[in-house]
């Protein structure tokens, strides 16, 4: 018989707490937090258009956080979640580094834009580290198959 004393909300909170303690969960939580800080900085800036990148990257990081936390990557095998996460993190790293350098270099007189650029550089490095760790996982799980040496093919 099913245990009815635990609620599904507590189960989700327990999954959240245990997933944040993993390396991937910690990295994704850091990406979400940094993106939120960047959104605040760019929203306070004169050039608020740069916040679109931070909003998109935060939403993508939240989606992948929920997918990996709930184990949906093992249920929905149609999508290759590792490669999708690699592309998300790689594109995020490149775009954050480019926009952050633009904001830091051209942000004279706009402190919020410079602060957003500095946090963006940190986020770009975190996304790049995430890309590197995902690449190592993909490289480690790739199976090498030997070529057939049978002449009767």
Residue 103 lies in a domain: yes
Task: Report residue 148's pLDDT band, with 50, 70 and 90 as the boundaries.
Answer: low
Residue 11 lies in a domain: no
Residue 132 lies in a domain: yes
What is the C-alpha separation between 39 and 52, in angstroms, rounded?
A: 8
Cα separation of the two ends of the chain:
56
What pLDDT is recorded for position 6? Answer: 45
Helices 23-44, 8-20: axis angle to 10 degrees equals 90
Residue 45 lies in a domain: yes
Non-local (6+) Cβ contacts of 114 within 8 A are 103, 104, 107
Residue 149 lies in a domain: no
What pLDDT is recorded for position 2? Answer: 44
Residue 152 lies in a domain: no
Which residue range forms the structural domain that includes residue 42? 22-139
What pLDDT is recorded for position 49? Answer: 83
Neighbour tally for 14: CB within 10 Å: 11
Query: Domain total for the chain?
Result: 1
What would the mean pLDDT of 82-105 be, rounded to a whole number?
95
Residue 17 lies in a domain: no
């Amino acid at each position: 018989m099913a245990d009815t004393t635990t609620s599904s909300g507590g189960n989700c909170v327990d999954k959240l707490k245990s997933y944040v303690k993993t390396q991937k969960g910690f990295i994704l939580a850091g990406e979400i937090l940094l993106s939120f800080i960047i959104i605040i900085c760019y929203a306070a800036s004169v050039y608020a258009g740069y916040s679109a990148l931070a909003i998109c990257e935060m939403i993508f990081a939240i989606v992948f956080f929920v997918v990996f936390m709930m184990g949906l990557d093992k249920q929905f095998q149609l999508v290759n979640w590792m490669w999708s996460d690699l592309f998300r993190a790689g594109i995020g790293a490149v775009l954050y580094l480019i926009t952050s350098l633009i904001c830091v270099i051209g942000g004279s007189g706009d402190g919020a834009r410079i602060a957003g650029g500095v946090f963006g550089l940190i986020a770009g490095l975190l996304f790049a580290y995430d890309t590197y760790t995902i690449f190592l996982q993909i490289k480690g799980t790739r199976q090498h198959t030997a070529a057939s040496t049978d002449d009767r093919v």
